[in-house]
Amino acid sequence: CLRGTAPPTPTVVPPTSTVIPTPTDPSSSTVPSPSPTTNPNPGTCTALPGSITFSDTALPDPFKPISGGARISTKAEWTCRREEIFQILQRYELGTLPGKPQSLTASYSGGRLTINVSDQGKSISFSVTISTPSGSGPFPAIIAYGAASIPVPAGVATITFNNDDIAAQQGGGSRGQGKFYTLYGSGHSAGALTAWAWGVSRIIDALEITPAANIKISRIGVTGCSRNGKGAIVAGAFDQRVALTIPQESGSGGSACWRLSDSQKSSGQNVQTASQIVGENPWFSPNFNQYSNGVSRVPADHHMLSGLVAPRGLYVIENTSMEWLGNLSTYGCQRAGKLIYQALGVGANMGYSQIGGHDHCQFPSSQQSELTAFINKFLLDGSGNTDVFRTDGNFNFNQAQWIPWTAPTLA
């Protein structure tokens, strides 16, 4: 981590006294389809061209299909443009997200959900801990990468996901290590962010077939801080069953845009760039290495990652006291991200809040009311003002330079 501090200690989950084993029902061991991670209407969109020549120093226009033709003007057209962006981000940056595995079974006991996955002759098993509120469920839940570093309110379960077990992040040499790679091979194109998102999808698959875990599938959030915040935003982008995505201080590779981070770096600021990140840890696909010194050739940037989360809830937390995260980069990137939400008529479903004066991954009380509003609205069926966009930073984002397109009102 940035300051060499250990992540917060996970909440200790008290053992549950009565263990209700999940009935073994062979019909429930197969995960329902269609996959929530792909286009619900396969075959209706133009496939991504095999070879793409692209160059744009500004943030690419989210409304202009790469496969040619006019800018999109309807929400129906966004479905295919969204799919295209999803494919582009996998091909250039994140690596391929495998489809549903051939088999998935799960069991719940003593606050632990165990997930067994088999695909193409290989098997793995991993588990998450669930701390459930008192009262009767099913409960909304937040899946926390590592450990939650935001306060999770009463009434919401916390699902603690040991993402490092699925894909390691122990420096550049740890590529290909972790259970994802046991299943799909150490040479798989997916970087750790994609492998973890795959893990989140399997947790949700398991919850779907495990009523004993008592989680409301339609009210699941995902969060993580810093490197795990990068993971959280990718999980929210990749699985449309996630109702609320809360990346905290994710910085470059998360809520920042590569182009903006490069610009901050070249003006002398100590901001993490693509060329640095590809060597630090295997978060991205090896395919991204070739673009890391020329990110203008990537036909996407991370405003589009937020666009994949739309129209679902997205609350981006950043910290102006950490130069490395890219203050201007995350701000400008998410301004562009919010334009996608606005085009879809759901601007209020996305918030950006950048407040300094605290350590990395320490949630400040000044953001509490915003967090509460997002959780109320997207997980607890309540209300609150989620139309947030604020910073205490002192910088000038040149919107005309970086966002030379306007957002249409999609019909």
Q: Using the rule CB under 6 A, give the single segment among 99-107, 127-135, 247-255, 363-371 that binds ligand MCU.
A: 247-255
Distances (CA, A) of 382 to 40, 219, 375, 378, 388: 28, 12, 8, 8, 17
Minimum distance between the CB of residue 180 and ligand MCU, rounded to whole angstroms? 19
Closest residue to ligand MCU, based on beta-carbon distance: 1
State the Cα–Cα distance between residues 358 and 394, nearest whole angstrom. Answer: 16
Minimum distance between the CB of residue 403 and ligand MCU, rounded to whole angstroms? 24
Q: Are 271 and 157 in contact (CB under 8 A)?
A: no
Torsion angle (degrees, nearest 10) of CA 97, 118, 163, 277: -40
Paired with 113 in beta bridges are 108, 128
Minimum distance between the CB of residue 297 and ligand MCU, rounded to whole angstroms? 22
Q: Which residues are catalytic?
A: 226, 360
Backbone phi, psi, residue 4, to 5°: 70, 15
Interacting residue with ligand MCU among 2, 13, 80, 346 (CB under 6 A): 2
Q: Using the rule CB under 6 A, give the single segment among 26-34, 116-124, 171-179, 248-256 that binds ligand MCU.
A: 248-256
* Residue 81 vs 227, nearer CB to ligand MCU: 227
* Residue 56 vs 323, nearer CB to ligand MCU: 323
Q: Are 178 and 163 in contact (CB under 8 A)?
A: no
How many degrees, rounded to 5, is the angle at CA 230 between CA 117 and CA 251?
A: 175
Minimum distance between the CB of residue 360 and ligand MCU, rounded to whole angstroms? 6
* Residue 91 vs 227, nearer CB to ligand MCU: 227
| Per CB under 6 A, 132 contacts ligand MCU | no
| Per CB under 6 A, 226 contacts ligand MCU | yes
Q: Are 336 and 400 in contact (CB under 8 A)?
A: no
| Per CB under 6 A, 354 contacts ligand MCU | no
State the Cα–Cα distance between residues 225 and 217, nearest whole angstrom. Answer: 23
Q: Which of residues 264-283 bind ligand MCU (CB under 6 A)?
A: 272, 280
Minimum distance between the CB of residue 1 and ligand MCU, rounded to whole angstroms? 3
| Per CB under 6 A, 321 contacts ligand MCU | no
Distances (CA, A) of 66 to 63, 83, 300, 307, 377: 9, 11, 10, 16, 34
Torsion angle (degrees, nearest 10) of CA 142, 145, 148, 153: 0
Q: What are the DSSP calls for 52-86, one per residue?
A: -----SSPP-TTS-TTSSSPP-SHHHHHHHHHHHH
Q: Are 255 and 306 in contact (CB under 8 A)?
A: yes
Q: What are the DSSP calls for 150-172, one per residue?
A: SPPPTT-EEEEE-GGGTS--SSG
* Residue 126 vs 283, nearer CB to ligand MCU: 283
Interacting residue with ligand MCU among 202, 227, 265, 303 (CB under 6 A): 227
Minimum distance between the CB of residue 226 and ligand MCU, rounded to whole angstroms? 3
* Residue 226 vs 334, nearer CB to ligand MCU: 226
Q: Which of residues 323-352 bind ligand MCU (CB under 6 A)?
A: 325
| Per CB under 6 A, 191 contacts ligand MCU | no
| Per CB under 6 A, 251 contacts ligand MCU | yes
Site residue total, ligand MCU (CB under 6 A): 10
Give the 3-state DSSP-derived string for 288-307, with helices as H, strands as E and coil as C.
Answer: HHHHCCCHHHCCCCHHHHHH
Minimum distance between the CB of residue 130 and ligand MCU, rounded to whole angstroms? 24
Polymer length in residues for the chain: 411
| Per CB under 6 A, 359 contacts ligand MCU | no
Name the residues that contact ligand MCU, by CB under 6 A: 1-2, 226-227, 251-253, 272, 280, 325
